[in-house]
Amino acid sequence: MPYINEVGEFQVTLGMPRFEKLEEKDGDGNRMVLVIPCHTREDPSRHLDFPYYFTRKLIGSGSNAGKPMYQLAMENVIKLGMSEPFHPSKIGELEGKEASLVTTEDEYTNSKGDVVGGIKGLFLNGRRRPQLTPDKAAEVWKTFESDGTIEAEGNQDDLPDIPF
């Protein structure tokens, strides 16, 4: 099967995930990775395996700084479509779900010491809303400009706060 071998964003269908054991690192022998096969919708034979790492390593920066990798992985897997609470036996729930895969260039040193380039998954997000073409957006916009506005029921103060 051909791999996704270019940088971009792809609409994908998730295959059957699997756990793989990782080598011991920094004294932690209880490490694993959840590998999720991602098949493009246009050509299901094109794929890329996306990893979620389950380790005790703490995230060093960003909005998730201080959180262990396994906790972030659990949260992301639930966002992809696994029912809560997370449990390793439920990974099969992800098979067939739709998602958006973002790829990026990758460079690493192989076991021979050679620097090798390739493509890797950067983000795997649950299904997004479909995009509108500019013509369709203009069509929707016309309905906002028409006199047929709908009065909201209740008081503006009754609306819930939206956290951002």
Strands (E), 7-146: 8-14, 18-21, 32-40, 47-54, 98-109, 115-126
* 92 part of a folded domain: yes
- Is the link from the previous residue into 85 a cis peptide, with omega within 30 of 0? yes
* 157 part of a folded domain: no
What pLDDT score was predicted for residue 113? 86
* Domain extent at residue 92: 8-145
* 163 part of a folded domain: no
* 118 part of a folded domain: yes
What is the C-alpha separation between 129 and 135, in angstroms, rounded? 17
Q: Number of structural domains, the chain?
A: 1
Q: Which helix (H) or strand (E) holds 69?
A: helix 69-80
Q: Which of 118, 111, 94 is nearest to 23 (CA)?
A: 111
What pLDDT score was predicted for residue 148? 59
Render pLDDT for 106-149 as a digit per residue (tens, 0 to 9).
988 888 888 888 899 999 998 656 677 888 888 888 887 776 55
* 30 part of a folded domain: yes
Q: Give Cβ neighbours of residue 47 (< 8 Å, ≥ 6 apart).
A: 1, 2, 3, 4, 15, 37, 38, 39, 40
8: left (phi over 0), alpha (psi -120 to 50) or beta: left
- Is the pLDDT at 154 greater than 70? The verdict is no
* 3 part of a folded domain: no
Render pLDDT for 31-74 as a digit per residue (tens, 0 to 9).
999 999 999 999 999 999 999 999 999 999 999 999 999 999 99
Give the least confident one: 83-97, 100-114, 118-132, 147-161: 147-161
* 50 part of a folded domain: yes
pTM for this one? Answer: 0.73
